[in-house]
Every structure is written in structure tokens, then in C-alpha cells.
Amino acid sequence: MATSTRRERPVRTLVTLGVLVIALFGALFSGARWSDGSLVPELALDLQGGTQLILKPIAEDEAKVTAETISQAIDIIRQRIDASGVAEAEITSQGDNQIVVGIPGTPSQATLDLVRQSAQMYFRAVIKDGAPTVSDPETAAADLGTPADGSDLAWLTQDVLDDFAAFDCTDPANLTGGTTASGDITEPIIACDQLGTTKYVLGPAEVSGDEISNASSGLETTSTGAVGTTWIVSLDFNSQGTADFREVTTRLVDLESPRNQFAIVLDGLVISAPRINEIIPSGQAQISGTFTRESAATLAQQLNFGALPLTFEVQSEQSISATLGSEQLQRGILAGLIGLALVGLYSLVQYRGLAIVTIASLVVAGGITYGLIALLSWTQGYRLSLPGVAGLIVAIGITADSFIVYFERVRDELRDGRSLPAAVAHAWVRARRTILASDAVNFLAAMVLYFLAVGGVRGFAFTLGLTTLVDLVVVFLFTHPALTLLARTRFFAEGHSFSGLDPSQLTTGARYAGRGRVAAPGGPSAADAAGVAVAAGDQRMTIAERKAAARAAGEAGTDGKDA
């Protein structure tokens, strides 16, 4: 049988893990020292409290507020809060005509203003575009006289060009909307696209979002009537919008780039700036490009937001205390500590000296998880909720089970007559497949929960998925190399009675074998198993196959004696 020539380098693996951990906490300490980071994760609304606003959507032009418009209004508010960097906000409907917004911590005034504002969408002609922080020094400033239309270069005054040169779309603060001197929609603005990759000088608003009667996404229809493969966004205008859109497209179609583009601006950000290829007199337009199914659907939804004639009236605004508070958080942490203690106690009873590896691995996993959560809290606005704490507690069992699978594989190899270093090497090959398969299932379950659930369940799913990934990192970069090093020590290699690897103790009593499996006591001796394997003519039989063959051989021998 061919043997692997690959040499284990456990020290190098442990050093690699150490470098990663140092980098993680180095970034965290640097953020706390020289930036606005913190060594302690931010807490969500249920644990910290925050600010609660009750909004009443009011329809303009006496349109009726329906459940659909309420749902769209919630989507608008959620999009605004997410864009401001606040995570774990709670946004729900209350009754038939109210929206309750709960923002954890002490939100900035800018965030509160975003929540209060109504959704505003306008179509504006592109006068100039450029990179996020680079302006065109050759563009001459115009004297603002009486511009002929929304595309007139007379809008490019020296003040506008100076503002355009200074405007930085890579600054997150500028991704909350465009700028204008007075907020008047009859003036030009400087605005960024949603990704911060392009900035524009846009003319005055010429078509309002509430002139869109409908927007949808789908696959294009070819000239033969067949369904194509390109995703497009279709929008229909009402009578006023049809007339306004016809007038603008007639003007833009013959202009040079980028002045032949008509930007769609939602809440001050350019969500699309399509080029006008032809005059559109019917009020039925199509936007094509490099859309995917998801991006086309997103743009259609945003266009429908613009058709939402709602303003938000603030009925109440108050600070709220945590619904669960510090006492429940302390109990959750206590439950986690009790779980860790029980896992450590079980490891000491079941695996004796090997409990060192289990406890050390749990400590490493806990440290990495804490560091990641604190880093995400600083960089991504993540906030830890009580369901998230529950996910961390559940992860203790998942992590401990991975160690048990590995240890029991090692013990099985020892029962089969291998030395400890060889048993560790062979057990790892089989154990890692089981661990990978199990953690993959856990991670997929966490992903499904995260994307399909709402509210606190998403917090649980996030921490469950995060700790599943941490489990893999710890098992591969710490547990296995640590056990490989211990296998080279005299205490473990010679099977000391307190090592947990004493051969005389491995065949007595039932044992938990990991992943919910309990192995029966006893089993064929190493010599018997080896003899059966040789008699079967296959040196590559797995441990389970050798044991099955041994049992079969024993039953056959009994039948022969009876005969």
C-alpha cells in the first residue's frame, strides 16, 4: 500500500493561526486607539435600548394608504437606515396606518432625519460626470444667465465646478444624497451613484417619480416576439409623465455623451443614468444594460418607490429602555459559561489528559469569535442581540462535538493496533470529512435562516454561521496540530493512565462517539481485526469494515462448531 510522503508541520500551522489572531486583535486595538472602534461589541435594541419613532404615512393627492404602500414605506426606511451604517434596527407596521422604527443606541441626528424624510425621486439630465474624486480641469466655467433647459452648460458655473471638484463619492457621508445650495429642485445638484464610483453634475428636476404609474423587470422580447436572454426594466408614465418624458427625450437624443443621459435620482443618489437612444413619445420606456435578474428587480422596486406619494408624519419620538436589559444578558453569558464548564467537566471525565486540547480549543474559538464580532461591530455596524447570544451558546456544543469525533477516531485507530502518532494521522483523514460535512450542513441551515427570516432570528442565524466557520478554523489550525504535537510526548505516546489514551481503558464501557452516536463497549481485538483483514486479502479496509468482518468471522466459527 502506498504511503503519503507529506510531512506534518504542526508548529508552522500554529504559528499561522497565531499571526491571524494577532492581526485580528491588532486591527481591533488600532481601531479603538486611533479611530472610533471599540473593544466591546455594540448591543442591539433588545439589550441596550435606543430611540423609537412612530410614523404615520400620509398620502399626497388624497390617495389611500394601503398595506402595500405601508410595506413599501418600510422598505424605504430600512434601506435608508442600512445605508447609514446602523444594524439590527427594528422596523414594523402597527395597525393599519403606522410604522414603528426602533433604532439601537443613540442614533445621530442625520439618521433620525433620514427616517423622517419622505421618499423623493426625480429624473435629471446629466450635464457632467467624472471619477469619485477627480474633476476635469479643462472644463470652462459658465456665467449663469438664463439656461435654456435642464441640459444647458450654463449651469456649470465656477461655484458648481468647485463643488464638483471637492465632492468625494468615496466618503460614506456623501452616499446619503446629493448637494444643492438650497434644496430647490429647480437648481442643479452634485450627486453620486449608489456605489460611490461616479459623481455627476445634474440639471434641475424635470420629471417626478410620482409620474411613474408602474415599473417591472423581465426578459426582453425580441423583434420576432420571442423571449430573449437580456434582463430589462420597463416603466410606464401617467399622462403628465408621458408628456414630460417625451419632451426631455426629444432634447437629449441628439446630445453628446454624457449629456444624452437621463439620471434617476432616489433620495439624492443616482440609481441609474441610462443613455437616451430614441425619442419616447408613448410614455412606455425600457432600460437595458448589464442587468442580472436581481439587479433588474431591485431597480424596478426602486422605481416603484418613486411612485409612492407618501410623506411621514412623526407622531411620537422617545427613548426606550432595553426590553430584556443587562439582567438577561448576564443570564445569557452565565448560561454560556455553565455550558463551557460542563463541556470541560465531560472532557475531563471522558478524555482525561485530552481535555487540555478541548478546553484550549474552546478558549481559542471563543477568543476568535469575540474578536470577529467586535471587529464587525466597529466596521459594519453589527450589533449583538439576545438571539445572537443564543447562537453563540449553541455553538459550544457544535464545537465540542467536532473534538469528540476526532478523539474517537484516534481511539478507534489505537484499538486497531496503531501507534499514537500514526493513529492521529490516520484518524484526521477520516474525522475531517465528518467534521466538514457536519459543519457544511450547519452553515447552510444558518444561511437559509438568515436570508428567509426576519428580526431576532437573523441574529441567531448570523452568529451560528459565524461560529461554524470559526469551528473549522480552530479544528484545522489548532486542534489537529496541537494533538499532533502532544502525540509526540512521552506522557501521551506511552498511553499513561491519565492521558485518556490508555489501551487497557479503550475497550471498556459504552462511549459517546460524536454526532449523536453512542458506541457499544468492547469490540474485536487488534490482532483479530488484523487477522480478518489479512484473511480477506485487503489491507485497505476501513476500521468499520474490519470490525464487521471480525463479527462475521466469529459468527461463522460458532456455526461451524455447532455443526
274 & 287 share domain: yes
Flag whether 563 is in a domain. Answer: no
* Backbone phi and psi for residue 35, each to the nearest 5 degrees, phi listed first: -135, -160
Q: Which run of H or of E encompasses 219?
A: strand 212-221
270-315 confidence digits (pLDDT tens): 888 999 999 999 989 989 888 888 888 888 877 876 666 667 778 8
51-77 confidence digits (pLDDT tens): 888 888 777 655 677 777 787 778 777
Among residues 53, 122, 113, 58, which one has the least CA distance to residue 89?
53
C-alpha distances out from residue 192 to 77, 125, 307, Å:
20, 14, 22
> With 80 as the cut, is the pLDDT of residue 543 above it?
no
For residues 297 and 444, which has the higher predicted lDDT (pLDDT)? 444
Look at residue 179 in the predicted model and tell me its pLDDT.
46
Flag whether 366 is in a domain. Answer: yes
Average the pLDDT over each of 185-189, 371-375, 483-487, 502-506 and give the range with the smallest value.
502-506
Backbone torsion region of residue 274, taken as left when φ is above 0, otherwise alpha when ψ lies between -120 and 50, otherwise beta: beta
370 & 442 share domain: yes
For residue 379, how many C-alpha atoms fall within 13 Å in the half-sphere facing its CB?
12
Look at residue 304 in the predicted model and tell me its pLDDT.
76
Amino acid at 432: R
Flag whether 27 is in a domain. Answer: no
Order the strands of the 284-287 sheet from edge to edge. Answer: 212-221, 227-237, 284-287
382-413 confidence digits (pLDDT tens): 888 888 888 888 888 888 888 888 988 888 88
Assess contact for 357 and 482: CB atoms under 8 A: yes
* Backbone phi and psi for residue 71, each to the nearest 5 degrees, phi listed first: -60, -40
Point out the domain boundary residue: 313, 341, 371.
313
Distance CA 462, CA 458 (A): 6
Among residues 132, 150, 270, 145, which one has the least CA distance to residue 205?
150
Number of domains in the chain: 4
Provide the domain limits for residue 106. Answer: 45-116
| Residue positions counted in the chain | 563
3-state DSSP call for residue 560?
A: helix
5-61 confidence digits (pLDDT tens): 456 788 999 999 999 999 999 999 998 888 878 888 888 877 877 888 888 877 765
163 & 283 share domain: yes
108 & 136 share domain: no
**Set of cell numbers at residue 545:** 469494515
Flag whether 292 is in a domain. Answer: yes
State the pLDDT confidence band at 517, using cuts at 50, 70 and 90: low
Flag whether 275 is in a domain. Answer: yes
